[in-house]
Structure 1
Amino acid sequence: MRFIHSNVVGTARNHRQRYRAPREDSCTEESSPRMSFRSSHSDRNFTRSWRCHDRDRNSVHENVAPLYSIPSFSRKAISPNDSHRLGDEPGNDLSGFRRGTWAERNSGARLKEGDSSRTLWSVKAMASSDVASSAAATATSLPFDVLQRIAGSFSWHDLWNATCTCKTWNKALAPLREGMLFLHYGKKFKHGHEVSKNLDKALQMFTKGAIRGCAAAMVDAGLLLWEMGRRDEGINWYKQAAELRHPAGMCNLGLAYLQDSNRLVEAVKWLKIAATAGHVRAQYSLALCLQQGKGVECNMQKAARWYLQAAEGGSTRGMYNVALCLRSGEGFSRNLYEAKRWMRRAAVAGHSKAQFEFGLTLFAEGEGGSALVFLELATRAGETGATHIRDALLVQLPSRLRAHALACADKFQNGGSISR
């Protein structure tokens, strides 16, 4: 096989000039071995060039339509940079022959320049060019307030994906990208990462990002103003972020309205929208309002369901309240096994009351060593009720088990896990 391959390659090298420009009246692939080799050889060269052009296209922006639109080109005007686009389209093989399907290549079917199907495809491509160009021009012609409603609440990942769609979207989303950068530098000034901590500069960065339409910058600007005591200005930024349907903005606006007795109904409305969007803190706050009847009619069943959603989203207070609901039978059917499981999850997640409750449960079940771990953690977190039982366990347990329990508590506080 190696000898045959070398002969074939040598033949191709000696007849390269002849095979580079084939005649239209030449024989088919089945009738001549040379023609069969020449066609497959050009296919391999075309595949390599197609991949190279595809890599080049990914490294730059082009003025093309969004990825879901029809490519804007036709067969009559083909540039070298368009070879990667036309490689799989019927009637556009750069070697002068249509690539075709597997069945067409094996049956010897070939489309010549005068074939009607190729002409029809060219007409369709020319028509799609107008559609794609009009779709690409839509982004820059949109008013900024409309564009802000579309992409203002995007995360950085989503904004970058939208930017890479085409050149027109890249240009249209430039203010939002600037807003994301101001948000990034504002967080650095607020928390003192890589720069000295400066809340005034942080507020300045957040405000600049918010002016450019970034909803996340609006939320951080409102939060910083709220912490500074300028609550009315903070609520205004929360309201603008909520109008852009940013989940954190809607949640913070609802929590701010909860402190005003005249706006409780409006607060519950924004919390419900944010909770439906998946915001964990909004889910817990809405459940608390439903349990207490604050701004809405008291409904323990709905409250328990929202507590469960918040707990599944990672809320430690939600886990603790789910455990209480399961243990008392309010909102859920009573289930002591599930109650213990959720209480342990809340305790391991760091909830101090859950650590105290779970330590008491283990102490009642006779597991003194494990009970000492959680009671020690609850005592260190400020739960004074756990101190008496912890001291009693320290006296009762053997020294080896006591030392192991205290070591587990230290390990947990340093970021480790609790081993039983």
Structure 2
Amino acid sequence: MSTESQVRADDRAHVFHSWSAQGLIDPLPIERALGSHFWDYSGKKYLDFSSQLVNINIGHQHPRLIAAIQEQAGKLATIQPAFANDKRGEAARMIAELAPPNLNKVFFTNGGAEANENAIRMARLHTGRHKVLSTYRSYHGSTATAITATGDPRRWPNEPVAVGVVHFWGPYPYRSPFFSKDEHEEGQRALRHLRDTIVFEGPATIAAILLETVVGTNGILVPPPGYLAGVREICDEFGIVFIADEVMAGFGRCGEWFAVDRWGVAPDLITFAKGVNSGYLPLGGVVISDAIAETFRERPFPGGLTYSGHPLACASAVASMQIFKEEGIVEHARALGDDIIAPFLKEMSEKHPSVGDIRGLGVFWAVELVTDRESKAPLVPFNAAGAAAAPMNAVAAACKERGLWPFVHFNRLHVVPPCTITAGDLREGLAIIDEALTVADGYYAA
């Protein structure tokens, strides 16, 4: 049986961690997890309010999902993508049935970055154009084109990588780049800005607009009413492919199977990963419209992956979707957001001066922290590191001390527990955040 000291020693000696200066990190060894909690080797229990990387939608170690993986491993552990496989076909059919009308094909990948990479490739080949438009406040993955499409600072040290990506401003009512007075005006001005960007980039050069349906790590930015429908209209007008990145927002996170369902919008391509099987095995994919699938009916698609549609991963997706349906998890997530999270955060915002804004839906919420509500000065600067990030680090530490593992990014604390969390555990976690925000209040300008 592994000991904490052995786990630490092996990790420090041999594991190269992502997004990190290797000598400046000290990863916490985790021994086990169950439901909405995980434990370290000292026995300390943490309420997982990050869902790891906002992907454990079904919770840790769901017994039915584990059993489905074990059963598939005993039957057929792997088979290459050129063969037909029962779980691969079943997973694709179930995903297509959940998607908006006329999206009936699924290309499987190993994760979200590869899904976005291949969706962009499909859009370029379908249109014969090369440019892709994406927003500054976005994250689409760390592979070549996906990281170029990403708008946040993780893109910077990777440049130059791919060509043909143009960034624009999406709607953000709290910090409006368009000086809007309300949500409606923000949506309309954001659409006008997008149209202007298209006109000046040349509509005939643009293959796709790539958007996170609800922006995830970069702010949990819920689109204003009418915005996504407006993007759909613009894409139709100029013959541009609309790609909805639902890697984080999909499969229950927003209280919908796909977040686009909330606004009744049908993209041309939907990318997914994370919540489709809660990361129990690597799996992602692209849901493809009939029109784009037809492009490749007699023309080969020039892309593929050795583990595309891996039977173990697809079996876990099938089981996950069945569990979601039978246990009412999507409806549960929606109710948690409407009945518990929204009213609690509203009350909390009235109590803590450091809370500048709250926003979200389902179990996908952001608490934006400031040092001055009038000026909206953020608690820490954009892309803060080192000493500049100390205030947010102190808030996160206060959460961890109280047994809650938070998700923090820049000046925001995200409320993103598993979609299966109980009302009692959710209230417990929110109460811990309430206590931790007294730390943020200490930095507020008197």
TM-score range normalised by the length of the shorter chain:
under 0.3
The structure in which a higher percent of residues are strand is 2
Greater relative contact order (Cα 8 A, min sep 6): structure 1 or 2?
A: 2
Higher fraction of helix: 1
Please identify the structure whose Cα radius of gyration is greater. Answer: 1
